[in-house]
Structure 1
């Protein structure tokens, strides 16, 4: 796959990254800093896809406009189906849509309540941290497990983010609490009614084929083909499924900028801009 690791397609195709997180959820950089990085790495288009939050969009807009970088409205929405955490990426939707906004406000509350329950589980194990520390880490954004991991690291309970997840916070670890349990069909409907497109995020991580077929039946518009967790085999595999069902392709770096990474790979895991063009052709305009 020429696009996934080099970041440049054959003949120097223009590049996009449609999976980026900022401080508005669990990323390290501000939306403005992400736009700066996009300019430095020569990206034509980016999408800030914070977890259950669209707060970064207005912050990134002015600078993206100044630099001539196309900022595609984005979000990564949590859902649960048959015991699996399913993440749905939304693109090109009206982020001021009232139903979507009110749902995302509700998610912010649910995420804080989830963190509180995880803090309770950690306390039972003798690992005592405060919810206030986690909310402070999130800087009034969308609270997630990386914020808990950062507090655990600050408190000397773990040496790294990866240790925090393997020891306490991962989906099979003792302090884990399920994410938002909204059915994916409802999330897809919300994105659709806000005039957007819905994509299944990183299917190669944990989504059985049978569940993927159900999600397609719920009305998915596309599949995330390029992702750091997908090798060439998985990229080709999901591309074939997308083609079989006439679905769109998407992808990106799933960039968080976490401190554990030795090297900053921003701008190196990208998709060809022509995928963005195909997405635009699928948008229904009234």
Structure 2
């Protein structure tokens, strides 16, 4: 990966990470611990993008301000389009926007109901776990499949997170239940009406080209170029699409800190701070 994208070993290069998860969704670190890690990694700016949750903001922002690190309001919102799970990243929005708050509270309930259905499917397979254990893992935050995976691991049903997903929880596995089925146009509208910027998360993972272009026509502001699942070819490819449609670039580590990772690579998958500057310029222009 070129230095201009990685931010590793480039003198004077100011770096940012705009895709990080905490315990408020499916990461393993608290918001405060993530701020400490951002400080230690020398990030100029970062964003916590928990799944359908903004509860980390109040915990992280004061500490980031104290350390002089730029904290950018973030969220990763779930949607479904033509049978595909589409994740839309939101940045720089007003977290106190009433409609956004109302919708995210609705998502929290939907995520709990989804987990309950997955528990029922697992029970029919002889794998008996309790929804209360999963909610406890989520610390009353946004419930996700990694929380179910953690409970399966604790119960000795699987040896690792990856086994939990391949055997039970992955999108083609027997206990899988579809995620939130909101249309991405509604998610983009919610972000924009809260004075934020929308960006398509990890398109190289699961989003066909025709859907990427359809999302752009729905008012998408940017595309995530840098992501651990994007090799150099994919980064360049999505960068070309973003340039073609005058879209913003975003990116980051999609960091969760999951137990299966042998090493902690926090601060190594980053973007140039210049991309953040361009985002802010777009907001001002709007």
Q: TM-score range by the shorter chain?
A: over 0.9
SS at match of 1:86: strand
Q: Tell me which residue corresponds to 2:265.
A: 265
Q: Tell me which residue corresponds to 1:36.
A: 36
SS at match of 2:52: coil
Gaps of 5+ in 1: none
Partner Cα separation in structure 2 for residue 221 and residue 133 of structure 1: 38
Q: Tell me which residue corresponds to 1:67.
A: 67
The structure-2 alpha-carbon separation of the partners of 1:7 and 1:285, relative to structure 1 and needing over 3 Å to count, comes to: closer
Spell out, residue by residue over 1:199-249, the C-alpha distance to the aligned partner (whole angstroms, 9 max, x if none): 000000010000001000000000000000000000000000000000000
1:168 maps to 2:204: no
1:48 maps to 2:69: no
Spell out, residue by residue over 1:97-139, the C-alpha distance to the aligned partner (whole angstroms, 9 max, x if none): 0000000000000000000000000001010000000000000
Report if aligned partners of 2:4, 2:272 keep a CA contact under 8 Å in 1.
no
Partner Cα separation in structure 2 for residue 235 and residue 218 of structure 1: 22
Aligned pairs (5 A) from 1:104-143 = 104-143=104-143
1:235 maps to 2:231: no
1:198 maps to 2:198: yes
Q: Tell me which residue corresponds to 2:19.
A: 19
Partner Cα separation in structure 2 for residue 176 and residue 12 of structure 1: 46
SS at match of 1:26: coil
Count of aligned residue pairs for this structure pair: 286
The structure-2 alpha-carbon separation of the partners of 1:70 and 1:94, relative to structure 1 and needing over 3 Å to count, comes to: same
Deviation at 1:61, TM superposition (A): 1.1
**TM-score normalized by the length of structure 2:** 0.98
Q: Tell me which residue corresponds to 2:280.
A: 280
CA RMSD of aligned residues (A): 1.2
Q: Tell me which residue corresponds to 2:178.
A: 178
Partner Cα separation in structure 1 for residue 5 and residue 178 of structure 2: 32
Partner Cα separation in structure 2 for residue 6 and residue 279 of structure 1: 19
Spell out, residue by residue over 1:135-181, the C-alpha distance to the aligned partner (whole angstroms, 9 max, x if none): 00000100000000000000000000000000000000000000000
The structure-2 alpha-carbon separation of the partners of 1:132 and 1:4, relative to structure 1 and needing over 3 Å to count, comes to: farther
Deviation at 1:4, TM superposition (A): 7.8
Report if aligned partners of 1:3, 1:271 keep a CA contact under 8 Å in 2.
no
SS at match of 1:90: strand
Q: Tell me which residue corresponds to 1:221.
A: 221
The structure-2 alpha-carbon separation of the partners of 1:91 and 1:152, relative to structure 1 and needing over 3 Å to count, comes to: same
The structure-2 alpha-carbon separation of the partners of 1:8 and 1:186, relative to structure 1 and needing over 3 Å to count, comes to: same
Partner Cα separation in structure 2 for residue 9 and residue 186 of structure 1: 40
Partner Cα separation in structure 1 for residue 231 and residue 4 of structure 2: 9
SS at match of 2:249: strand
Partner Cα separation in structure 2 for residue 4 and residue 122 of structure 1: 45
Gaps of 5+ in 2: none
The structure-2 alpha-carbon separation of the partners of 1:284 and 1:9, relative to structure 1 and needing over 3 Å to count, comes to: farther
Report if aligned partners of 1:92, 1:196 keep a CA contact under 8 Å in 2.
yes
Report if aligned partners of 2:19, 2:255 keep a CA contact under 8 Å in 1.
yes
Partner Cα separation in structure 1 for residue 248 and residue 10 of structure 2: 20
Report if aligned partners of 1:5, 1:268 keep a CA contact under 8 Å in 2.
no
**TM-score normalized by the length of structure 1:** 0.98
SS at match of 1:118: helix
